[in-house]
Amino acid sequence: MTEIRIEGANVVIVGGSSGMGLALARRLLDEGASVTIAGRSKERLAAACRHLDDHPKLGTCAVDISREEEVAALFRDSEPVNHIVSTAADIEGAYQLLPSIELAAAQRVVESKFYGPLLLAKYGAAHLPPSGSITFTSGIAAYRPAARGSVVAAVNAALEGLVRALAVELAPIRINAVSPGWVDTPIWSVVAGDAKQATLDAMAQRLPAGRVGQPEDIADAIRFLIGNGFSTGTILHVEGGHRLV
């Protein structure tokens, strides 16, 4: 088996300023990787650097992955890259019943979770070695859709189709996705507002795992896909058994 080394690797994490991406950045830095966290907000990137103790192997890049010219510049100006990860998602305003859905909110989901990954692959693949990888995040909504979640469910499903197609087109570069269940991240403050904790607690009681996920659970799964040289075109479900209930 060919070892995919993390120590000394260069990893770009889009969405790395919070939640799952931030947990992954910590994990990879601890293993000796050089990590660039990318996102739209310079303020959040600066806060993430402080959270990660201004690690000497940590860099940042302000980029909106829905803008093609910015994604192209991200890789044009970067050092050689071994792995690319995206945990980015803009779902503000997307969880609405059908009569209330605004097209602009739906478009933001498509841009952040489909067009953005497409552009990352388009411009990033040429900078990856044959042993490199690209890992995206889809989500449980594609399998357990609920009222108000039609847009997110559809985009997650589309992203998973993209993963399979790119795994064929870009081989031997490996393309995978992690499909998280409910994870206690800041995005829930957008989805549920003041009812965040009560909502998560109610789901924890339903899940076979007996709890909702933590960002570190998803970071572990992404780390596996980065390091396993025989996984490609794979959707790795990390959802506490949510598909079973």
The answer as to whether 4 is a domain residue is: no
**Contact assessment for residue 17 and residue 87, using Cβ atoms and an 8 Å cutoff:** no
The per-residue pLDDT for range 98-114, each reduced to its tens digit, is: 999 999 999 999 999 99
What's residue 189's pLDDT?
A: 81
Using DSSP, how many helices (H) and how many strands (E) does the chain show?
A: 9, 7
User: Per-residue pLDDT averaged across 56-73, rounded?
Assistant: 97
42: pLDDT strictly greater than 90: yes
78: pLDDT strictly greater than 80: no
CATH number of the structural domain spanning residue 104: 3.40.50.720
What's residue 94's pLDDT?
A: 93
pTM of the model: 0.96
What's residue 215's pLDDT?
A: 97
Residue type, 109: V
Mean pLDDT of the chain, nearest integer = 96
Domain total for the chain? Answer: 1
Residue type, 198: A
The answer as to whether 211 is a domain residue is: yes
**Contact assessment for residue 179 and residue 235, using Cβ atoms and an 8 Å cutoff:** yes
Which residues span the domain enclosing 119?
A: 10-240
The answer as to whether 94 is a domain residue is: yes
The answer as to whether 1 is a domain residue is: no
What's residue 14's pLDDT?
A: 98
Give the chain's end-to-end CA distance (angstroms, integer). Answer: 37
Categorize the per-residue pLDDT at 7 as very low, low, confident or very high, splitting at 50, 70 and 90.
Answer: very high
The per-residue pLDDT for range 184-242, each reduced to its tens digit, is: 998 888 778 889 999 999 999 999 999 999 999 999 999 999 999 999 999 999 999 99
- Please count the other Cβ atoms lying within 10 Å of the Cβ belonging to residue 158: 17
1: pLDDT strictly greater than 60: no
3: pLDDT strictly greater than 80: no
The per-residue pLDDT for range 131-174, each reduced to its tens digit, is: 999 999 999 999 999 999 999 999 999 999 999 999 999 999 99
**d(Cα 149, Cα 132) in Å, to the nearest integer?**
33
Query: What whole-number percentage of the chain has pLDDT above 70?
Result: 99
Query: What whole-number percentage of the chain has pLDDT above 90?
Result: 92
What's residue 79's pLDDT?
A: 81
The answer as to whether 245 is a domain residue is: no
The answer as to whether 49 is a domain residue is: yes
The answer as to whether 5 is a domain residue is: no
**d(Cα 118, Cα 168) in Å, to the nearest integer?**
14
For the residues of 39-79, what is the DSSP string, one character each?
ES-HHHHHHHHHHTTT-TTEEEEE--TTSHHHHHHHHHTSP
**d(Cα 126, Cα 121) in Å, to the nearest integer?**
9
**d(Cα 192, Cα 199) in Å, to the nearest integer?**
7
The answer as to whether 131 is a domain residue is: yes
Which residues make beta-bridge pairs with 38? 14, 61
